[in-house]
Amino acid sequence: MAGITIEGVARTFGQVRAIDEVSLAIRDGEFFTLLGPSGCGKTTLLRMVAGFCDLERGRILFGERRIDALPPHRRSAGMVFQNYAIFPNFTVGGNVAYGLNARNVAAADIERRVAQTLKLVHLDGYEERWPHQLSGGQLQRVAIARALVIEPEVLLLDEPLSNLDAKLRVEMRAEIRQLQQQLKITAIYVTHDQEEALAISDRIAVMQNGRLEQVGAPEAIYRTPATAFVAEFMGTTNILTGTVAGREGELIRIRVGGQQFSARNADAPPGSVVTFSLRPEMLRLLAGDRAPPGWTTMTASVARVEFLGVLTRLHLRLADGALLHAVSLDLLPEGVANGAPVTLAYDPARVTVLRRP
Amino acid sequence: MILVARRDTFPFVITLLALGFLGLFLLYPLFHVFAASFLDRTGTSLTLGNYARVLSSSFYLGSLYNTLIVGVLATLITIAIGVPLAFCLARLPIPAKAALLALAALPLVLPSFVAAYALVLLLGRAGVVTQWLREVGVPFTSIYGLTGVTVVFALTLFPFVVFPTLAAFKAVDISVEEAGQNLGASRLRTFRTVTLPIVMPAVLAGGLLVFIEAIESFGVPFVLAEDKPILAVEVYKLFVGELGGNPASAGVLGALLVACTAAALLVQRYYLGRRRFSTSARRTPPELVVAPWLRRLATTYCWGVVLVALVPFFAVIVISFLEFRGPVLHANFSLDNFRELLNQSSRPLVNTLTLSSAAALLAAAIGVPIGYAVTRFRSRISGLLDVVAMTPFAVAGTVLAIGLVISFNSGWLVLTGGWLILVLAWSVRKIPFNVRAASAILHQIDPSLEEASVNLGVSPLVTFLRLTLPLMMGGVIGGMVLTWVTVASELSSTVVLYSGPWATMTVVMFQALESTGAGIASAAATVLIVVTVLPIAFVYRLLRRYELAMM
């Protein structure tokens, strides 16, 4: 087991900078997720760690050991592929034993370790089955067992759940997380699903255009996104741009069109232009009750109501005509319907001023 | 300084070995052919005199003209026959479609000069049909000349158009057609403006194969062209001429022949490079519901074309069991022809069987790793290998053979007079096919399987041997059988390269043709047909999955 250090890594494909000077320090035993839209470079970065993609610049270390010049078959990085990549010409047992055979492990040891690892992924007794007899979820478990049985220094997972149906995906991600914690293995997990990333990661790196947009714990990434890209990628939000009209201690007042917002921010000087994110669930509808102390209130009218099951989305029109999204978990207060006037409140501490791109 | 281990040592080694082999047995001989065409009589100084001499001769200019005419006509006719056939097979309810498809593929592997010879037996001067026609009073003389050559090409090469076009018709996403109709176009208009443009690249790819096969063919014009000069035949005649041969003029004609095929390949590559439609059909088009008379018409057409193409082969088999008195055929059953054939010697049959096996193994042993390297490891040097490995496709067998003779007739490596030179020529000629077949299978094998293996600590070489090769095996064997079958009836390089004890069945037939031994020739032709069809029938199921790799 070892941490992974990525230093100044870069790679260009033709005109495209696939990986643009990326540096990361992944801690020993950490579950680290690379998150981003397709084409952002997350899979390329993972394949660099595995050894399937050459680096132009930079280095990669497992612990103190530099590995970026090693051929992939000598890296000890167990990988789980997006499409499982189960060898169709071997049984389940043969698949799991494949890496052990390559290491000249004694036959009795192989048998014991294969059985042990299959048990770990709840496939005990499946040694003799053929891959075509298994379901997608079972194939996924074989792929994980096959990567773990060689006791790799790090575990690499390339969108391992994207081929499973939604319900199974939620089950498997919990299982993968639990397995990783049990084995205390350093893991890099690639996904484009922000919910999945939030659910299982110790830390997340959000990537775009081959660069790291932000690295941090799931809560930090969600609550205090650094850029508009991260804020929007991590879920629906209201991104607004305005001018700082004044400051009262830690609070700044921001003028957006004809509307005034407030946010807690230390450095934006009055007169400067700022972009900020206000998550829909941070907007509370006041139905006769008073806003908590320190909160900011504003009025709007309901433009559209969308019922989404677990929550209800409101499209609100502000006095100056601008649109704002809000979300309510509960039943809507009496009288909230299209065209109705509503009063909103939010905590300025939960408004995030974003880094200008 | 850290010594960086090459990640791709394995494909690099494959590429170097393959380039070495192809360099020695393909490029070096070709170089000699071109060199011969540019050297003067003393063989010391460069000259364009050979070209001037050959191109000012109306006879050789005529051979160039005839070759191109036959090539173009064959291409147009096979497209005219093949596209409707492919459409019917793809979209209409034709009875016994599977059997029809299997039979339609047969002319591709059956030796075409046997079909040519059958045409001579039927429609030649003393042909069965010719005589009957004369008796009935039809003033038919014979099929010899460019007409006969074109007819044989049309009959034997049309599957080259049918199979890729059929695949393209099946790959057309039906919703594209539905969109066309939804936008108000009639069925016919939709076909013309939507479907046809989508299948056009496949039609042209097939047509190109026909053109190249037609202009490279030695056996068919040799049997049928008679007094009409054809490049591939004249190259041979000049080289092995009774007056000691004329390598300079043979070199000029050989270079012209290679230039024609190379030009055709370039034109196609340029055209297809600009028109690449991704046809990722979600739904294969369903069969059309048509009026019964139309269905009957389509059925008659499809079965008619396929059966007519096989008639020459049936005819040869039947005739080989009849009695010849001199060149005259009598309608009595007899095994004399076979007795006579085997009385000469059984050596040619043994040669055909063993040397073909050696060539099939060698072609696979070289072609499959090349296919692997160029498919899985894209780099500048593998791109070069891809081009070089496809070159034999553009080189007529006669020309390659002449190059091999010039190159390995003397010096540090002498191969002429032995069996190895035959095996080398055949396997070099079949390498493009083996490369294509291998990469066709590889495209069906997810590369992440190999990555998973390497990731688990298995080196690329061992991964190839333990994982990839077993997964490719079905296709590799299929490719080897098709290679075996086609080299067993190879004629164009064989007639240049064989010597004394290493004559093959095709040579026996060739010699029998030259010396009016019609009985032996027909028996040899039957043996060749059997030798071809049996292995194919044996691995038919295996081959069906890879039939499209043949292009």
Give every CB contact of residue B473 below 8 A, 6+ residues apart in sequence.
none
Determine, for residues A87 and B452 on separate chains, whether the beta-carbon distance falls below 8 Å. yes
Residue A121: pLDDT band (50, 70, 90) is: very high
Chain A residue numbers with beta carbons less than 8 Å from the beta carbon of B446 are 83, 85
B452 vs A69, A71, A81: nearest CB = A81
pLDDT of residue B441: 84
B456 vs A82, A83, A98: nearest CB = A98
pLDDT at residue A321 tops 90: no
d(CA A114, CA A118): 6
CA-nearest residue of chain A to B4?
A69
Chain B residue numbers with beta carbons less than 8 Å from the beta carbon of A81 are 448, 451-452
Smallest Cα distance from A129 to chain B, Å: 18
Give every CB contact of residue A335 below 8 A, 6+ residues apart in sequence.
A287
Angle between helices B347-376 and B9-22 (to 10 degrees): 140
Interface size A-B, in CB pairs within 8 Å, comes to: 77
Residue-wise pLDDT for B75-114, tens only, equals 999 999 999 999 999 888 888 888 888 888 888 878 888 8
**DSSP labels for B374-443?**
HHH---HHHHHHHHHHHGGGGS-HHHHHHHHHHHTSSSS---TTSSHHHHHHHHHHHHHHHHHHHHHHHT
d(CA B357, CA B369): 19
Residue-wise pLDDT for A180-198, tens only, equals 999 999 999 999 999 999 9
Residue B118: pLDDT band (50, 70, 90) is: confident
* B241-245, B424-428, B456-460: the lowest-pLDDT one: B241-245
Smallest Cα distance from A51 to chain B, Å: 8
Determine, for residues B446 and A87 on separate chains, whether the beta-carbon distance falls below 8 Å. no
Residue B378: pLDDT band (50, 70, 90) is: confident
pLDDT at residue A5 tops 50: yes
Which residues does residue A238 pair with via DSSP β-bridges, in sequence order?
A278
d(CA B77, CA B147): 12
> Residue B526: is it exposed, middle or buried by C-beta count within 10 angstroms (0-12/13-18/19+)?
buried
pLDDT of residue B548: 41
Determine, for residues A98 and B471 on separate chains, whether the beta-carbon distance falls below 8 Å. no
Radius of gyration for the alpha carbons in chain A, expressed in angstroms and rounded:
25
Task: Find the helix or strand (DSSP H, E) in which B541 lies.
Answer: helix B540-544
The amino acid present at B422, given as its one-letter code, is L
Determine, for residues A150 and B467 on separate chains, whether the beta-carbon distance falls below 8 Å. no
* A343-357, B177-191, B265-279, B509-523: the lowest-pLDDT one: B265-279
pLDDT of residue B549: 42
A52 vs B3, B451, B457: nearest CB = B451
Determine, for residues A147 and B455 on separate chains, whether the beta-carbon distance falls below 8 Å. yes
A146 vs B5, B456, B462: nearest CB = B456
Determine, for residues A103 and B457 on separate chains, whether the beta-carbon distance falls below 8 Å. yes
Chain B residue numbers with beta carbons less than 8 Å from the beta carbon of A150 are 456-457
Among candidate residues B20, B160, B21, B19, the one with its CA nearest the CA of residue B81: B160
CA-nearest residue of chain A to B7?
A71
Chain A residue numbers with beta carbons less than 8 Å from the beta carbon of B463 are 73
B4 vs A69, A85, A89: nearest CB = A69
> For every residue of B370-383, which 3-state class applies, written as one string?
HHHHHHHCCCHHHH
pLDDT at residue B4 tops 70: no
Percentage of chain B lying above the pLDDT 90 cut: 28
Rounded to the nearest integer, the mean pLDDT of chain A is 91
The structure tokens 């190059």 sit at B403
Give every CB contact of residue B385 below 8 A, 6+ residues apart in sequence.
B15, B18, B19, B370, B373, B374
Chain B residue numbers with beta carbons less than 8 Å from the beta carbon of A73 are 454-460, 463
pLDDT at residue B276 tops 80: no
CA-nearest residue of chain A to B6?
A71
CA-nearest residue of chain B to A90?
B467
The reply to whether B458 touches chain A by the CB within 8 Å rule is: yes
Determine, for residues A87 and B454 on separate chains, whether the beta-carbon distance falls below 8 Å. no
Smallest Cα distance from B10 to chain A, Å: 11
Determine, for residues A72 and B455 on separate chains, whether the beta-carbon distance falls below 8 Å. yes
pLDDT of residue B327: 66
Determine, for residues B455 and A50 on separate chains, whether the beta-carbon distance falls below 8 Å. yes
pLDDT of residue A303: 92
Q: Confirm if B54 and B60 have CB atoms less than 8 A apart.
A: yes
Determine, for residues B456 and A87 on separate chains, whether the beta-carbon distance falls below 8 Å. no
Contacts 24+ apart (CB under 8 A), B191-195: B195/B169
Residue A1: pLDDT band (50, 70, 90) is: low
Question: Which positions 416-455 of B are in contact with A (Cβ < 8 Å)?
Answer: 446, 448-449, 451-455
Q: Which residue has the higher pLDDT, B11 or A231?
A: A231
Measured CA distances, B156 to A167, A194, B162, B311, B544 (Å)? 57, 59, 12, 11, 19
pLDDT at residue B164 tops 90: no
How many Å separate Cα B222 from the centre of its chain? 17
pLDDT of residue B105: 84
Determine, for residues A89 and B471 on separate chains, whether the beta-carbon distance falls below 8 Å. yes
**DSSP labels for B329-356?**
EEEEE--HHHHHHHHH-SHHHHHHHHHH
Determine, for residues B453 and A87 on separate chains, whether the beta-carbon distance falls below 8 Å. yes
Residue B3: pLDDT band (50, 70, 90) is: very low
Tally of CA atoms within 13 A in the half-sphere of A327 that contains its CB:
14
Find the chain A residues whose C-beta atoms sit closer than 8 A to any C-beta of B: 50-52, 54, 66, 69-79, 81-83, 85, 87-89, 98-99, 102-103, 143, 146-147, 150
Among candidate residues A136, A107, A112, A110, the one with its CA nearest the CA of residue A124: A112
CB atoms within 10 A of CB A135: 10
pLDDT of residue B424: 96
- Which residues of A209-258 form beta strands (DSSP E)? 211-216, 238-248, 251-256
**β-strands A4-13, A251-256: how paired?**
unpaired
Give the ipTM: 0.84
Residue-wise pLDDT for A204-240, tens only, equals 999 999 999 999 999 999 999 999 999 999 988 999 9
Q: Which of A13, A43, A73, A89 is the mutation pick for testing B, counting most B CBs within 10 A? A: A73
Which residues does residue A5 pair with via DSSP β-bridges, in sequence order?
A25, A61
Smallest Cα distance from B367 to chain A, Å: 23
pLDDT of residue A205: 97
Rounded to the nearest integer, the mean pLDDT of chain B is 84
The three-state secondary structure class of B226 is coil
Determine, for residues B457 and A99 on separate chains, whether the beta-carbon distance falls below 8 Å. yes
Among candidate residues B90, B383, B83, the one with its CA nearest the CA of residue B207: B83
pLDDT of residue B541: 65
A102 vs B446, B451, B457: nearest CB = B457
Chain B residue numbers with beta carbons less than 8 Å from the beta carbon of A103 are 457
Q: Calculate mean pLDDT across residues A129-137.
A: 92
d(CA B446, CA B456): 16
Smallest Cα distance from B437 to chain A, Å: 20
Determine, for residues A73 and B451 on separate chains, whether the beta-carbon distance falls below 8 Å. no
pLDDT of residue B403: 92
Q: Confirm if B31 and B404 have CB atoms less than 8 A apart.
A: no
A54 vs B7, B454, B459: nearest CB = B7
Q: Which of A11, A74, A87 is the mutation pick for testing B, counting most B CBs within 10 A? A: A87
pLDDT at residue B547 tops 80: no
d(CA B129, CA A323): 88
d(CA B241, CA B245): 4
pLDDT at residue B175 tops 70: yes
Q: Which of B7, B448, B456 is the mutation pick for testing A, counting most A CBs within 10 A? A: B456
Determine, for residues B462 and A147 on separate chains, whether the beta-carbon distance falls below 8 Å. no
> For every residue of B241-291, which 3-state class applies, written as one string?
CCCCCCHHHHHHHHHHHHHHHHHHHHHHHHHHHHCCCCCCCCCCCCCCCCC
pLDDT of residue B544: 60
d(CA A319, CA A257): 10
pLDDT of residue B151: 92
Q: Calculate mean pLDDT across residues A23-29.
A: 95
Smallest Cα distance from B446 to chain A, Å: 7
Enter the pTM of the model: 0.81
A85 vs B449, B463, B470: nearest CB = B449
Determine, for residues A79 and B453 on separate chains, whether the beta-carbon distance falls below 8 Å. no
The reply to whether B459 touches chain A by the CB within 8 Å rule is: yes
Determine, for residues B471 and A51 on separate chains, whether the beta-carbon distance falls below 8 Å. no
